[in-house]
Structure 1
Amino acid sequence: MTSVRGPSAPRPPGLADALRLSFGTLTVLPAGVPSRVDRVVGGRAMMLGPVVGLVVGGIAAGVTALAQLVRPDADLLAAVLAVLVVAGASGGLHLDGLADFADALGSRRDRETMLRIMKQSDIGPFGVVAIVGILLLDVAALTACIQSGYGWQAVLVATTASRLTLAWTCRTSVPPARPDGLGTFVAGTVRPIAAILTTAAVLAAALALAWLSSTPSATRLAGSATAVLLTVAVALATTRRAKSALGGTTGDVLGAAIELALPAALLALALTA
């Protein structure tokens, strides 16, 4: 006796789709095309942001270690190379988002005008200042870390932790600012408990790396914890500003949060390394 099957239920999205979307959206690294893209996959992709940060940070950490091996006296050069690798592997997208967000807020116009400014391809004076300022902070803080003997580790921790902002800026209480674009797929997709668990995992990894360093100390452990928690604070502050000014989040806001969180983490590590 043969049975008649009804229409099969849609399969839940797998980890592979979320990873492909996360790497494809956040980096220029080859990742393939996800077979399914919707809000469920988008939310999981944002939660996997720290994994992307770990890979990008790992590449930059390797460059830092190699530069120090070749030229132990060129700390500034190693820092510049690492920052350029992170920006390049990300395709400059996060810096572009930072510039657009800065130009929009700097205009002090109404919501619709600010959203229109963020969609324009050109970069205004506020955007230029934001990019230059952030890159200078990145390089200066990382140079201090390298001089303290915590260079490649700082790159790895800061780059991974800064991608935590994706989970927090896409939590369920944050709506999209416009009906199209990346924000519609990821805004409001991450439950707070999921963001907390992701943060706890990154925090544990950062503390373990500090503990296993050649010169572990209570100060360095505190600095690593502060670096991770600061990225969460940056995400919350950026999201709050985006909600008040734009009514929600956009892809540019996500990029801006990452770029603001990176120097915050590096500064915390530099002051405690």
Structure 2
Amino acid sequence: MIKGLIAALQFLTRIPVNISVDFNKKNLSKATFFFPYVGMLIGLIAGIVGYYMRLLGGDEIGAVFAVLALVVVTGGLHIDGLSDTSDGFFSGRSKERVLEIMKDSRTGTFGVVAVVMDLLLKFVIISKLRTSMFIPSLMLASGNARLTVVMLMAYMKNARPGGMGSMFSDSKPQKYFYAALIIYLIVIIFGFGLKFLIPLGIAFITSGLITLKAYKTIGGLTGDVYGANIEICEIVSLFTFMVASIWI
């Protein structure tokens, strides 16, 4: 399982882990187990940076640095997927053409708008979080988003064979999804409280809606859609924490 953890850290983050690991099916399958926990680490780093910058410069400064930390730690990997997905899905073209657009390295208008809205929404929502909820919200929003994508990898059809997305889905990570889900639920319930399950539930619903859109548009999912799913589910989770923070 150590190789799976290393693979998850190397794939999902830019944290320097200078240990060589083959990205074969066995290691990728094991890596999916660690996705939500690596997500929590990403959120923890962003939360700590944002929290102390908030103490120094106020809510807006804290939010700026939290968003910046999310981008730096992940290398903008999922934002790129959101951009490509938006360019393709909103192009109004055929399935084959949409897949071509998503593979194109150039960024179109919809991609730019999606990235701007993604960063702007995160900034606004994070700036509104209560101080006591700041770090937990970022930790669990990042963990929630990556747990939902493991579900997609485990059970949903891939629309583009041969890509990075299909490498994960072809690794058959179903048992690791269930193991990750059970332990993650235990962590939330006993580490945070039952009410913290609400954002996770809404993230799963959001992921289901994204899947329906993807199936309708391209007949399945791709690595770019996985990235878009993570970004959108992070925003939805953060928004739920912001709204519910009054009584959580």
TM-score with structure 2 setting the length: 0.90
Letter in 2 for 1:185: M
Separation in structure 1 between the aligned mates of residue 197 and residue 22 of structure 2, nearest angstrom = 36
Q: Find the aligned partners of 1:236 and 1:42 in 2 and give their Cα distance.
A: 23
Do the aligned partners of residues 247 and 47 (structure 1) sit closer, same or farther apart at CA in structure 2, a change above 3 Å counting? farther
> Residues 250 and 32 of structure 1: is their aligned pair in 2 closer, same or farther, counting only changes over 3 Å?
farther
The Cα of 1:194 is off from its aligned counterpart by: 4.3
Deviation at 1:209, TM superposition (A): 4.2
How far apart are the structure 1 equivalents of 2:130 and 2:31?
A: 32
2:2 counterpart residue number: 16
How many angstroms apart in 1 are the aligned matches of 2:176 and 2:33?
8
Q: Which of 182, 185, 190 is the equivalent residue of 2:173?
A: 190
Aligned position for 1:210: 192
Change (3 A) 1:241 1:41: farther
CA distance in 1, matches of 2:110, 2:143: 27
C-alpha distance in 2, partners of 1:229/1:196?
Answer: 15
Aligned counterparts, 1:59-74, within 5 A? 59-71=45-57, 74=58
Question: Distance in 2 between the 1:244 and 1:41 partners?
Answer: 31
1:112 to 82, 92, 96: 96
Aligned pair in 2 of structure 1 residues 243, 34: CA closer, same or farther (>3 Å)?
farther
Offset of 1:164 from its aligned partner?
Answer: 0.9
The match for 2:76 among 77, 82, 92 is 92
1: CA distance between counterparts of 2:70 and 2:46?
6
Could you say if the C-alpha distance between residues 206 and 145 of structure 1 is closer, same or farther in structure 2, counting changes exceeding 3 Å? farther
Distance 2:87 2:75 in 1: 20
Pairing partner for 2:216 from 228, 244, 261: 244
1:134 paired with 2:106, answer no
Change (3 A) 1:194 1:17: closer
Q: Percent of aligned positions with the same letter in both sequences?
A: 29
Give structure 1 regions of 4+ aligned residues with deviation exceeding 6 angstroms.
none
Instruction: Give the 5 Å matches for 1:51-62.
Output: 51-62=37-48
By percentage of residues, which structure has more helix? 2
Q: Which has the larger radius of gyration?
A: 1
Q: What whole-Å deviation, never above 9, does each CA across 1:187-221 have from its counterpart, x for those lacking one? A: 25222x6434423432332344434xxxxxxxxx5
Aligned to 1:29: 15
Does the 8 A contact of 1:68 with 1:75 survive in 2?
yes
After superposition, the CA RMSD in angstroms is 1.9
Which runs of 5 or more structure 2 residues have no equivalent in the other structure? Answer: none
1:38 to 1:175, Cα distance in 2 relative to 1, 3 A: farther
In structure 1, runs of 5+ residues without a counterpart are: 1-14, 212-220
Structure 2 contact 55–62 (Cα < 8 Å) conserved = no
User: Secondary structure of 1:175's match?
Assistant: coil
What does the per-residue CA deviation read over 1:4-55, in whole Å, with 9 as the maximum and x for residues that have no partner?
A: xxxxxxxxxxx12212221111111122354433223222212311121122
